[in-house]
Amino acid sequence: MEIVIVADGAAVAARAAQIMAWAIRAVPQPVIGVATGSSPLGIYRELAAQVRAGELDVSNVTAFALDEYIGLAPSHPESYHHVIDETVTKQLGLDPARVHVPNGHISDILTSGDDYERAIVAAGGIDIQLLGIGANGHIGFNEPASSFASRTRMKTLAPQTREDNARFFGSIEEVPVHCITQGLGTILDAGQLLLVAQGESKADAVAAMIEGPVASMCPASALQLHRFATVVIDEAAASKLQ
Ligand code: F6R
């Protein structure tokens, strides 16, 4: 695992965007994995600026989101369909037909995980997967005790994750209880992993991911098993590393 410690959130976004851009330029048909939440927003802004400046061609990019809430209509402002559309697809000017988000419709839930896995394989696999980390060590919505072999499936959100994400909703009661997420096995299949974290609230999780044992109670510790994982963090998120 390569650890890159930079001064602040702006520097995290700049360095991670550079790594994403390299990966996009490296292959003719790039397949990127994208995350929602606050952590990657600066990266998407940086990439969008590169596209506008004519420095980055994203016309052949295919994207797969990590996860989706179950029970929110795709038009709901906090559904990840909507969030990815606003922060990634429109901002970077991706072809919407090439942007995939897991189907969180409850009536499809028994098949939507396998459908998503097949779509990733049909696209040739994910070249670079961008990840944030939850304060409890989750990646995607793989909460503590998730199997390292897991594939895209339905999960229950941990109470802490619902509390953390209540800031996007009116109240914690409005945060869905269930989600569909790429599994840890799915994430580990990507050619490259790029995890970003900013701020002291992530420091414990970052230390457990990098210096703790590989353990399902810290799902992000799965990155220790990947042969090409890069972690870009600011000094506050790195503050509990030994
Ligand atoms: C989002 C996701 C989550 C977030 C994590 C951190 O698609 O899968 O794992 O990356 O909860 O969220 P933020 O960046 O909002 O702190």
Instruction: Give the largest Cα separation in the chain, rounded.
Output: 47
pLDDT given at position 95: 98
Pocket of ligand 1 (CB under 6 A): 35-39, 66-67, 132-134, 138-141
Closest-CA residue, ligand 1 atom 11, reads: 134
User: 178-181 and 153-156 as β-strands: parallel, antiparallel, unpaired?
Assistant: antiparallel
165 catalytic, yes or no? no
pLDDT given at position 185: 98
Number of the ligand 1 atom closest to the C-alpha atom of 202: 16
Number of the ligand 1 atom closest to the C-alpha atom of 161: 11
Closest-CA residue, ligand 1 atom 4, reads: 132
Catalytic one of 68, 117, 136, 165: 136
Q: In what side-by-side order are the strands of the sheet with 178-181?
A: 67-69, 178-181, 153-156
pLDDT given at position 26: 98
Interface predicted TM-score (ipTM): 0.99
pLDDT given at position 208: 98
Q: Spell out the domains of the chain, with CATH numbers in brackets.
A: 2-234 (3.40.50.1360)
One digit per residue, the tens of pLDDT, for the chain of length 242 reads 999 999 999 999 999 999 999 999 999 999 999 999 999 999 999 999 999 999 999 999 999 999 999 999 999 999 999 999 999 999 999 999 999 999 999 999 999 999 999 999 999 999 999 999 999 999 999 999 999 999 999 999 999 999 999 999 999 999 999 999 999 999 999 999 999 999 999 999 999 999 999 999 999 999 999 999 999 999 999 999 99
- Tokens found for residue 109: 């839930």
Q: Measured between alpha carbons, how far is residue 142 from residues 47, 61, 117, 167, 177 in Å?
A: 27, 26, 16, 20, 13
* Best residue for ligand 1 mutational test, from 69, 133, 142, 232 (most atoms within 8 Å of Cβ): 133
179 HSE (CA, 13 A, CB side): 27
Q: Which residue has the tokens 């399902």?
A: 216
Does residue 186 contact residue 151 with C-beta atoms inside 8 Å?
A: yes
